[in-house]
Structure 1
Amino acid sequence: MSPTEPAEDPRPGTDQASGRPEDEAPEAAAETDTEPAEETDAPQDVWSARRDLWHHSPGIMLGSSAAIGGSLVGGDQHGVSGGRVVGDVIMGSKTEIHYGGWAGPAYASGDLPQDVLERLTALFAGCETFDTALGVLRTERVVVLTGAPFTGRRTAALNLLRQVGASPVRILDPDTSPADLPLELGSSQGFLLGDMITRRNQPLRESHLRAVQAKLAEHSSYLVITAGLHTSFEDTVRTTEWKPPAPEEVLRAHLGARVTEDEAGALLRLAATRDFLARQHQLREVVAFSQELAAYARGERRAEELERFSLTAVEQQVQEWFDDGTVSLHDKAFLIALAAFDEGPYALTAELSDLLYGFLLNIEEGGVRARIPVFGTSIAKRLQLARARRYPENEHTEWGPVRQMKSAFLDDRTPMALLVEVWTGHPSSRPALVRWLKRLAEDGRPLVRNRAAATAAVLAAADLPSAMALLIEPWAAARRYRFCLAAANALTLAHLLDTPNIPRILHDWCTEESGRIRWTAIRAYALLGPEMPEVALAALSGAARKVDAEAADGEEAEELVHSTAVLLLSGAGPTVLSRLAGFLQDEQSVRGLALRAFLEACTRAEDDVDEARPALLAWYARAAVTPGVEDDRLLVTLWRAALSERAHTGVALDRLRDWVRQADTDPESEAALSALLPSLAVAGPDHQRLSHLLRTVPGAHGGPPPSVAARLLATLTPALPTARS
């Protein structure tokens, strides 16, 4: 086995069927040197693999300008915002945001000083939810606020207490058990229990709240409880869902206390402010941004710093998740999986996050088996923690679109920022990530395989040497084509992320001794070639010479043909067509590559839509009526060469028969063939060959001859026309 072969992980046992990955003992999990006894897969054809990559890659990676289906890059630069945003995410930030607030150690529990209470509530922006909660508090003396973290629940709670005149306010310990809660209520007028922590088997019950109400009534006191991610309560407990005010209202309120009204209006009109508000930022981030805007108004901040603030907030949130000891390893595994499968089916993300959790736990606990509750995981709380959403949408499958419940981060920059943080900021997780991505790369589902490649691409953009050594090179050298395809896709997507040196890697790999590595480079050129057609064709023709010297056919030779055909039908088609016509004067291996690729391209329909016109025939028709374009002449040159060369004549005639049958139901195709066929009959043998084809062409599925054949035959009969020169 090659030292770069991805070692086979032991397959999960019976627990895997229930969604609980077995985490093997360290010795069982170690990489092995055993190679599969036989090849277990065949390479996916380049056309469907390209389609899968386009359908299943994260949207932020491809952007609106990139199009692997057809022309790889069209319009502005690839990536997001011309690669600038992606580059910023990959490079990271040196800035740290210091969030103001009262939730620090000094106010974790105990009496909250009156001046602090007034300062924290002075800039509060009210909303309809606040009015509802206030009504409940006045009548019930206790209100339970639910909602996502960092949405202003605690500031709202303090304002609720202030509105009912409950002062002083005492902050209660979040670990206070529901049964002990009445005992913690002393003589203070107001109490706040923030992000109450309860055990699953000891939830907050209605009976607890009745006891609390009685105690509060004794002293005319009030209590606000905010329910966090770790709060369990019975369904009978009355809660009020906190829906915060609009970020713009909060920002306006805070700016009003820091700058003049005219300055506030100007700051709110800044492009950086509009971009910031377009993102779904937490209210603590909105407050911090108001401070940055005020500093900008005083000349203490540059415009670039304002523009960067939004992304910095995303990066800091990611760092908090992985630095926070209260976020479980299971939840951290889910965050990583969600980053890899952003905009993918939620159930798939959850399934594969459990697999990753087993690998991470094996590192952290040294061989402890991962025990995952089959039921009881709250989807809503998971997505709250992740600042993500769930929504229904069609997912592309091999059987067609299928309706799925998907999940995605609210901010589309979060996935990349998270993956970069884990890979570069927490390198101890790398062995688990490598094992996990290897398992994903060999999965039977195209979505899973392509997301493994996309994740590897992000890691390569952040740290190319490590990603190449640990992931992409072992995949490229593997015996199984699924790994090779994952490597090719990873390099393709890494290039879209502006990762340097990808063209050099592919160039070097095309001359590697390892056939699998050469195959990987050839497949990658099919995807990236439209951006650099001259480089791609030079590499592919060089590989053709090497393949011809070693073996006349095989998977590598087929891959060369298909990759070249993809380039011919890409946005770089005119350049590729000219080069292929030039290849006809080259040595036999290169000439053969040009003709086989041309004939392969003849099988593809326009836009890969079934029953559509053949793509090359449509191209010929357009070129024939376009002044100053000689593509039609070059297409005729390739047709003549294919028809006249014994090794390719049979296939070329088959392709023409297919075109004739398609033209039987398409007048535009018939018109194009009526112009093309006479230009191919330049000599007696050519005329006889094409006439025989049109007289004998069978209909589809062995049916009667297509009626269009007789009409096309009539275009050959009058004379033997000479092709346009």
Structure 2
Amino acid sequence: MTAEPEPPDQPVEDPPPDKEAPNTLEHPGALHSVRNTMSGTFYMNAANFGVDGVSASPLTRATGRVQESVVRAALDRFVTPPRFDAALGRLHRDRVVVLRGLRGSGKRTAALTMLREVGASTLYALSPQVTLSELAQRDYDRGAGYLVADRRVADADDSDFDWGLVRDRVQDEGAYLVATVGNEASNPADGTTHVDWVMVEPERVLRAHWPHEWPETLHEVLCSVNRVSDVIELARRLAAGESPDAAVTHLDGRAGDVVADWFAAGPTRRQVLEVAALAFAVGTDERTYESMLHKLVEHYEHHDPEVRPGELAAVEDRLRQRRSTLFNENELVSAVRYRDQYGAEQTALCFTVPAYHRHVLAQLWARLDVRFWDAVRDWLNGVAGRHGDPVAVGLAELADVSFGEALPLLERWAGGEVGAGGQHTAVQTLWAMAYREPLASAALRVATSWVTRGSPARRWAGAMAFSGDIGVRYPHDAANRLWQLCVQSHTASGNVEMVLAALFSRLVHDTADAGIVLSVLRTKLRRFSRSSADRRLLVIAIRATLAVLSARDGRAAFVEFLVSAPDRIDLVAELWASVLCYRPTRLAALTALRQALDTAGPDALDIAERLGRALGATLPPDEPPALRSDFQTLAARKGVPIGPVLAALLTVLTEFPTGA
């Protein structure tokens, strides 16, 4: 049986508007800055996707209710772009507008500003995978604003007729909708929906964020800037006291010029291979990098008939000091010193400016032919399983340059063709992509394709991707896709229920969005409890719910959830009632609940009493006495008396008025 059709994406279960949710998560490099890998040490801070090479860009939820702090940030010092008024007028008139333009041109910020300008008090972000058919059928809150950022759907879906249906639906519901698409998207023939977006002048943005005089050289640099975020980062650096000459080195355009000049100067084969290897080895120590470089040289010699075997590693009369030459003769390469978990000083190799990383790959892609890239592909297939972290970061950068070159590698690794290590690296690559727009939406599409149409191994890799950073970025998509996979668990090569539990645990510990998973399960339990529903789907929902409620990292994840969201006690109680009342899972549920309460920490008694009252209001009248009896039987069987916390829950539960 196939999974039930997935309902249109709904912005459900978001933090209440009066509570600012801590839903930003630092890059893995900030959480685990030093990792011991199978073959060496990896220093993630040298390989981050942030703008400055020290602090990393945060991972934020991309769907659901848009937090007020995000809207305020968009409105703060907003500079009106050239086509803003035209787009705003169209939004006023039609309630739907699509901004079509280059990445980094400020479309998303402008979209949020437009929605607030037309009076939308509550804003929601929808999945970039949403189709026009779903947009034309979903429900909208009257007076609310909706954003679909980085939408990429087949052009066949974007007809005048389909957009007309979306307009009609949004207008009937009294809402507003703004979508942003890339410059490559087609423009419907009638032109009534799309507005070709033009980036605001960089000097105006810099003036708004740093209202001081600057040298003439800065004017020249700004002429080549093509991303609004670059200008804002430049302003931040200038405000922090950096000189203009130092601050502009981190501009993407300036970094691109430096790398292009380096390649134009005619580096040796060895130097080109050094930076190529570093692109997939950033953050590694010298020994790991040199080992990876040696393997790349071997593959390149094999694929390029113009190079004699051993030529690039020919023996010389004197011992070549290659390590010092790498740093002394290559301005693109640098090293950072850091202390590992033992306090010992270590070295990690990196690019001198983090932005060089992508531009090196862009230059390699633009300049070198298939022989070189065949060598790189074979090399990566060999090192992916041993050096997953740096290879994942490098492949994510390559995906930004040529997605078509990166995708076949991801597909192969996710399918298990290079072992479990390669599969893990494929998942890590999607996680790395989640930290950068619009790569995040591309990673979402890849994970979705694996889960819905992949082999068992790829389905499992997709599930794992959704349990981590992709799930943090797109929690609504993740919860729905993992549920779909639970229904089709025979098509995956692992325990999908436990992956859904892992997603819940991750969201509990790092975001304010864990209620999304619980709400999806509650919806399934209610729907499949009806007499006309498929009983098999109810059993799947109950087992998935038990796995989620049993999830723990220290203390139970649902306990952590209730500590941060005490008002969701009724939701949690309803889920516990479902797994406790279903006899095949009752023993496992009793065991999990007792273990959770025994390890609930300082909040144990409060949570036990509140959960007891909520369960009493949810359970059938004959269940509370039966539960007390079953807990006593379980305690006697294990020879462990009922503790004070569980006793408090049972006392409140059995004292609850019968039939309430």
TM-score class, shorter? 0.5 to 0.7
61 and 485 in structure 1: CA distance in 2 versus 1, 3 angstrom threshold: farther
2:302 to 362, 371, 384: 362
Are residues 1:634 and 2:571 paired?
yes
- 8 Å CA contact 2:415, 2:455 repeated in 1: yes
- 8 Å CA contact 2:393, 2:429 repeated in 1: yes
Structure 1 counterpart of 2:631, one-letter code? L
2:410 to 472, 482, 487: 472
Q: For residues 623 and 236 of structure 2, what CA distance do their matches in structure 1 show? A: 72
1:712 to 639, 642, 648: 648
1:256 corresponds in structure 2 to none
Deviation of 1:649 after TM superposition, in Å, equals 1.9
Q: For residues 694 and 618 of structure 1, what CA distance do their matches in structure 2 show? A: 26
2:58 to 57, 61, 66: 66
- 8 Å CA contact 1:657, 1:697 repeated in 2: no
1:443-592 equivalences under 5 Å are 443=386, 448-469=387-408, 471-479=409-417, 480-497=419-436, 498-499=438-439, 501-512=442-453, 514-526=455-467, 527-547=469-489, 550=490, 555=494, 557-558=496-497, 561-562=500-501, 565=504, 569=508, 570-584=511-525, 585-586=527-528, 587-588=534-535, 590-592=537-539
Structure 2 counterpart of 1:494, one-letter code? M
1:360-439 equivalences under 5 Å are 360-364=300-304, 365=306, 368-369=309-310, 371=313, 376-384=320-328, 385-395=330-340, 404-427=346-369, 428-439=371-382
Q: For residues 709 and 344 of structure 1, what CA distance do their matches in structure 2 show? A: 49
Deviations 1:445-500 (A, max 9, x none): xxx2122222222222212223223x122223335333333333323433543136
2:558 to 593, 612, 616: 616
- 8 Å CA contact 1:71, 1:572 repeated in 2: no
Structure 2 counterpart of 1:393, one-letter code? Y
Structure 2 counterpart of 1:578, one-letter code? S
1:318 corresponds in structure 2 to 259
- 8 Å CA contact 2:358, 2:401 repeated in 1: no
Q: For residues 277 and 495 of structure 1, what CA distance do their matches in structure 2 show? A: 24
Q: For residues 308 and 49 of structure 1, what CA distance do their matches in structure 2 show? A: 23
Q: For residues 393 and 678 of structure 1, what CA distance do their matches in structure 2 show? A: 52
TM-score, length of structure 2 as denominator length: 0.57
- 8 Å CA contact 1:337, 1:349 repeated in 2: yes
- 8 Å CA contact 2:497, 2:544 repeated in 1: no
Deviation of 1:636 after TM superposition, in Å, equals 0.7
- 8 Å CA contact 1:453, 1:486 repeated in 2: yes
Structure 2 counterpart of 1:330, one-letter code? R
Q: For residues 538 and 373 of structure 2, what CA distance do their matches in structure 1 show? A: 46
Are residues 1:676 and 2:619 paired?
no
Structure 2 counterpart of 1:318, one-letter code? V
- 8 Å CA contact 1:595, 1:642 repeated in 2: yes
Is the partner of 1:468 in helix, strand or coil?
helix
TM-score, length of structure 1 as denominator length: 0.52
Structure 1 counterpart of 2:373, one-letter code? R
Is the partner of 2:353 in helix, strand or coil?
coil
50 and 574 in structure 1: CA distance in 2 versus 1, 3 angstrom threshold: farther
Structure 2 counterpart of 1:392, one-letter code? R
5+ long unaligned stretches in structure 1:
1-47, 79-85, 90-261, 280-284, 291-305
1:180 corresponds in structure 2 to none
Shifted more, 578-587 versus 381-390: the winner is: 381-390
Q: For residues 281 and 264 of structure 2, what CA distance do their matches in structure 1 show? A: 22
- 8 Å CA contact 2:334, 2:350 repeated in 1: yes
2:277 to 332, 337, 340: 337
Give the structure with higher Rg (CA): 1
Aligned-pair identity in percent equals 17
Deviation of 1:658 after TM superposition, in Å, equals 1.6
Q: For residues 343 and 60 of structure 2, what CA distance do their matches in structure 1 show? A: 19
2:626 to 688, 693, 709: 688
Shifted more, 483-492 versus 591-600: the winner is: 591-600
Is the partner of 2:337 in helix, strand or coil?
strand
Deviations 1:154-208 (A, max 9, x none): xxxxxxxxxxxxxxxxxxxxxxxxxxxxxxxxxxxxxxxxxxxxxxxxxxxxxxx
2:149 corresponds in structure 1 to none
Supply the RMSD in Å over aligned alpha carbons.
4.8
Deviation of 1:639 after TM superposition, in Å, equals 0.6
Are residues 1:442 and 2:385 paired?
yes
1:643 corresponds in structure 2 to 580
Deviation of 1:512 after TM superposition, in Å, equals 1.8
- 8 Å CA contact 2:524, 2:541 repeated in 1: yes
Q: For residues 404 and 581 of structure 2, what CA distance do their matches in structure 1 show? A: 49
